[in-house]
Amino acid sequence: MIKKLSIISLVFVFVFFSACSAPKERKAESHLDTPEYHYTQGKKYLEKDDLTNALREFNEAKSLKANFAPAYEGIAIVEIEQKNFAQADENINTSLSEDGDWVPAMVAHGRWYSAQSEYEDAIDEFESALDDIDDSKSSFDKKEVRMDALYHMGVAYKEWGQYIPAQTTFQKILEIDNTNVKASLAIKELAEYQAAVAGQSPVLQKIAKQKEVTRSDVAVLFVTELPLEKIFRKSKRLESVQYRAPDSGVMGKKEEEKGPEAIATDVPDSHWARSFIEEALQVGIIEKYPDGSFQPDKKVNRAEFAKLIEHFMVKAYDDPGLETQFFGSTSTFADVLNTSPIFNSVMLVSSRGIMPGFDDGTFRPLDAVSGAESLNIIRNLKAKF
């Protein structure tokens, strides 16, 4: 009898502590405060690359229902984008343990492999997800999940260098929905990407894969892709900067040795692009900020890229007039006013076919510049010399 009571007591203690350790679920505060609604909102934020708000929504979903599989899948995707791969894997496994039929978690697992360049495993996971969609008993939009799986499968093929399978996979999305803008854009970007990486070195191919480029990347592109010696060989302006005859004030004296002006305060010797940045600064094609910094990891948007190219062209052609060439003219872009500080730069690069606008009549100055786009822009610029 005593032994029986002891077993019952142990069971009670186990259940008690399990209940205490389990996440506490909060009560909904409105009819929209549901796990499903927060999950849907989180997905919308993901589409906008707003990871902070996406993560908040997925956590809100989990706080309402601790075993809600979609919440863990959503959190995993945020962690994949943040390169927290161990935590992402854990959340994918949690999602599937809560609902083995939750196919979006399998798609997330494919993305997990792809983000770590394990493309063969990624393709296998995407194919498994596609095979399981129709038989799944979980509640999700099967059409949307199928297109999502195909999209990320196409991206994996593209980054793997399998361009024909990539295009075929993106095309399958259009066969499901011929109005799918994301798939159409992916096919267009695939063509741009192929053109960008053709015959390029491994370093530039790596840049081409990036969603956004930094000032370091731009310095590398300028220095490695443009024939700077040929372009600046006859530049009087550059010669005047590089050489100054000693005047009477220093005749007979040893001039003070100055450190290379190219060295920026925030580019240490260990920085991967230091030599490229230094050369770009020495030639004068990219400038430091007034505080002496270069901000090597700062992302470059389309407006900033246009300004950098304008500056380069002024130096290369030794023609300051290029900086004001379009003053007083009419803007050809709906989103760039002719009174904007970037107006001349945008008009200069677009009118010369170096950095064109978009089919809808916009330039999208605040949009990020992808690695593939930057390579093609530099290639267009190179063709002018």
Q: For residue 252, is it within any domain?
A: no
Q: For residue 307, is it within any domain?
A: yes
pLDDT of residue 233: 67
pLDDT of residue 11: 46
122 and 220 together in one domain: no
Specify the range with the lowest mean pLDDT, choosing from 109-113, 250-254, 287-291, 317-321. Answer: 250-254
pLDDT of residue 22: 52
106 and 44 together in one domain: yes
Q: What is the pLDDT of residues 75-93, one digit of tens each?
A: 999 999 999 999 999 999 9
Q: What is the pLDDT of residues 342-371, one digit of tens each?
A: 999 999 999 999 999 998 999 999 999 999
Q: For residue 250, is it within any domain?
A: no
pTM: 0.70
Question: What is residue 214's DSSP assignment?
Answer: B
171 and 221 together in one domain: no
Question: How far is 261 from 255, CA to CA, in rounded Å?
Answer: 16
The mean pLDDT of the chain is: 88
Quick check: 158 and 192 in contact, CB under 8 A?
no
231 and 369 together in one domain: yes
Q: What is the pLDDT of residues 162-211, one digit of tens each?
A: 999 999 999 999 999 999 999 999 999 999 889 888 888 887 888 888 88
Residue 250 has pLDDT above 60, yes or no: no
Neighbour tally for 277: CB within 10 Å: 26
Q: Which of 322, 317, 379 is nearest to 351 (CA)?
A: 322
190 and 46 together in one domain: yes
Question: How far is 355 from 34, CA to CA, in rounded Å?
Answer: 46
Q: For residue 4, is it within any domain?
A: no
- The CATH number of the domain holding residue 159 is 1.25.40.10
**Total domain count, the chain:** 2
User: DSSP secondary structure string, 97-113?
Assistant: HH-TT-HHHHHHHHHHH
pLDDT of residue 231: 80
User: DSSP secondary structure string, 122-180?
Assistant: HHHHHHHHHHHTTT--S-S-HHHHHHHHHHHHHHHHHHHT-HHHHHHHHHHHHHH-TT-
How big is the CA angle at 59 (ends 53 and 64), to the nearest 5 degrees?
Answer: 130
pLDDT of residue 203: 79
Higher-confidence residue: 300 or 249?
300
145 and 266 together in one domain: no
pLDDT of residue 12: 52
Average pLDDT of the residues in 299-315: 95
Task: Give the three-state DSSP class for 5.
Answer: helix
pLDDT of residue 223: 92
Quick check: 126 and 157 in contact, CB under 8 A?
no
pLDDT of residue 251: 41
Neighbour tally for 192: CB within 10 Å: 15
158 and 231 together in one domain: no
215 and 132 together in one domain: no
Q: What is the pLDDT of residues 97-119, one digit of tens each?
A: 999 999 999 999 999 999 999 99
pLDDT of residue 23: 63
Residue 300: domain span: 203-237+261-382
Task: Give the three-state DSSP class for 368.
Answer: strand
Cβ partners under 8 Å of residue 267, min gap 6: 273, 274, 277, 278, 294, 296
- Compute the CA torsion angle 373, 374, 379, 385 (nearest 10 deg): 140
Q: Of 177, 198, 219, which closes a domain?
A: 198
pLDDT of residue 135: 95
Q: For residue 248, is it within any domain?
A: no
Q: What is the pLDDT of residues 44-63, one digit of tens each?
A: 999 999 999 999 999 999 99
35 and 162 together in one domain: yes
Which helix or strand (DSSP H or E) is residue 8 part of? helix 2-21
Task: Give the three-state DSSP class for 47.
Answer: helix
pLDDT grade for 277, boundaries at 50, 70 and 90: very high
Q: For residue 180, is it within any domain?
A: yes
39 and 131 together in one domain: yes
Average pLDDT of the residues in 235-258: 43
Q: For residue 215, is it within any domain?
A: yes
Q: For residue 80, is it within any domain?
A: yes
Average pLDDT of the residues in 125-145: 96
Percentage, residues of the chain above pLDDT 70: 86
Higher-confidence residue: 14 or 23?
23
pLDDT grade for 227, boundaries at 50, 70 and 90: confident
83 and 185 together in one domain: yes
Question: How far is 329 from 280, CA to CA, in rounded Å?
Answer: 32
User: DSSP secondary structure string, 248-304?
Assistant: TTTTTSPPPPPPPTT--TT--TT-TTHHHHHHHHHHTSS---TTS---TT-B-BHHH
Quick check: 40 and 2 in contact, CB under 8 A?
no
147 and 293 together in one domain: no
